[in-house]
Amino acid sequence: MRAITTWRLAIIAAGSLAVPQTAQAELPAPVRAMIDAAIATGDEGKVRVVSELARTTNPADSDEVDAIIANFNTSLAVRRAEAAAAKEAQIRSAGLLEGWSGKGEFGAFQATGNSTNTGLSTALTVDRQGIDWRHKLTGRVDYQRAGGVTTREQYLARYEPNFNVSDNFYVYALAQYERDKFQGFSDRYAVSGGIGYQALQQDDVRLSLKAGPAYRVTAFTDGRNESRIAGLIGLDFDWSITDRLKLTQATNAVAETGGTAVAIIDARNTSVDLITGLNATISSKLSARFSYAFEYDSNPPPGAVQTDTLSRVTLIYDF
């Protein structure tokens, strides 16, 4: 009897060794549900955080987590490609008056320099982004009148089309009109064309530079008229400090031989416009903006000073 029992135990042991090992346990249902919930939001940040937690708490199931995330990334890439294709098709089929977006701005300013006063400021900017082309129209008015006397009256209108040559380089053209009798000119026209470079194109920081020749015609308040060849240098900088706070810097330097930052320069008269702004988001369509503008003319008409500054507090509506 003892021999039979020993023989049976040996057979059972051998049989147990021959039985295949059970498959590795699947990812626990609560963990899988957590990953699925993150994927359902479509938020890459949430998916990344949740998947890292799943790998940390379930290291034996890392391969399964990786496979789930790989499928998510693949489907996300497909959806983005489809959305980009649909957007491109919509842009290509849009009519001349379609596809425009813009910003309306209204508020107050405080000026120093050729006039020291407080008044109203309003501006309108519209642009149209195409596949290779971008069109931007800007208009601004600063106006103040007290006691029946106008003490500030400044107008600016600008049209700038851009054509993308590559991911980083573009060609620009610029046509600009200004009127500011307190700075000594009743009309000033400038045209320019040249090359631009997108130095930074990140989600939170953007920097572009441009330069080219310019031609400027100025009608002064004393009756003189001047037409001169110049050079233009421009800079545009945007920094989204937080989701609701953005710093902007625009500079145009024009040198006569005159933007957001623009400089026009020549040996006779160099003009520089620097505008630094801070935008705070109030809602999806509304934001508040504080900006400081520095305007410089190296050779102003008799009776005018070289430097003007404007501090503006405005509300901006996106449409």
Answer yes or no: do 300 and 191 share one domain: yes
Same domain? For 54 and 156 the reply is: no
Last residue of a domain, one of 41, 69, 93: 93
Confidence of residue 314 (pLDDT cuts 50, 70, 90): very high
Mark whether 205 and 126 lie in a shared domain. yes
Quick one: tokens of 126?
């519209």
Beta strands, E only, the chain: 100-112, 117-129, 133-146, 149-164, 169-180, 185-201, 205-220, 225-240, 245-256, 262-265, 270-281, 286-297, 307-318
The confidence band for 5, taking pLDDT boundaries of 50, 70 and 90, is very low
- Convert the pLDDT of each residue in 239-285 to its tens digit: 887 776 665 655 544 444 323 678 888 767 888 888 888 888 888 88
Highest mean pLDDT among 14-18, 118-122, 146-150: 118-122
Over 70: is that where the pLDDT of 2 sits?
no
> Are 114 and 167 contained in the same domain?
yes
For residue 14, pLDDT beyond 50: no
Looking at the fold, whether 8 and 136 belong to one and the same domain comes out as no
Distances from the Cα of 65 to the Cα of 78, 94, 299, angstroms: 20, 43, 69
What pLDDT is stored for residue 299 in this prediction?
Answer: 82
Radius of gyration over every alpha carbon of the chain, rounded to an integer in angstroms:
32
Give the domain extent around 307: 100-318
Residue finishing a domain among 31, 59, 93:
93
Secondary structure (3-state) at 248: strand
104 shares its domain with 89: no
Selection from 159, 219, 215 nearest residue 192 by Cα = 215
Residue 181's pLDDT is: 87
- Do 34 and 117 sit in the same domain of this protein? no
Q: What pLDDT is attached to residue 213?
A: 95
Pair 232, 252 in one domain: yes
Distance CA 280, CA 260 (A): 18
**Whether pTM exceeds 0.85:** no
**Burial class for 135, CB neighbours closer than 10 Å (0-12, 13-18, 19+):** middle
CATH number of the CATH domain containing 191: 2.40.160.40
Return the pLDDT at 149.
80
**Domain shared by 11 and 106, yes or no:** no
* 221 pLDDT more than 60: yes
Task: Give the per-residue pLDDT at 255.
Answer: 43
If DSSP codes are grouped into helix, strand and coil, which group holds residue 93?
helix
The answer to whether residues 46 and 131 belong to one domain is: no
Cβ contacts of 249-257, under 8 Å, gap ≥ 24: 249/274, 249/275, 249/276, 249/277, 250/274, 250/275, 251/275, 254/190, 254/192, 254/214, 254/216, 254/230, 255/230, 255/231, 256/216, 256/226, 256/228, 256/229, 256/230, 257/228, 257/229, 257/230, 257/231
Domain shared by 134 and 255, yes or no: yes
* 8-32: average pLDDT: 55
Range with the poorest average pLDDT among 44-48, 64-68, 303-307: 303-307
pLDDT exceeds cutoff 80 at 7: no
Mean pLDDT of the residues in the chain: 82
pLDDT tens sequence across 51-97 = 898 898 888 888 888 989 899 889 888 888 888 788 777 777 777 77
Number of structural domains in the chain: 2
Is there a single domain that holds both residue 83 and residue 110?
Answer: no
Domain boundary among 58, 93, 128: 93
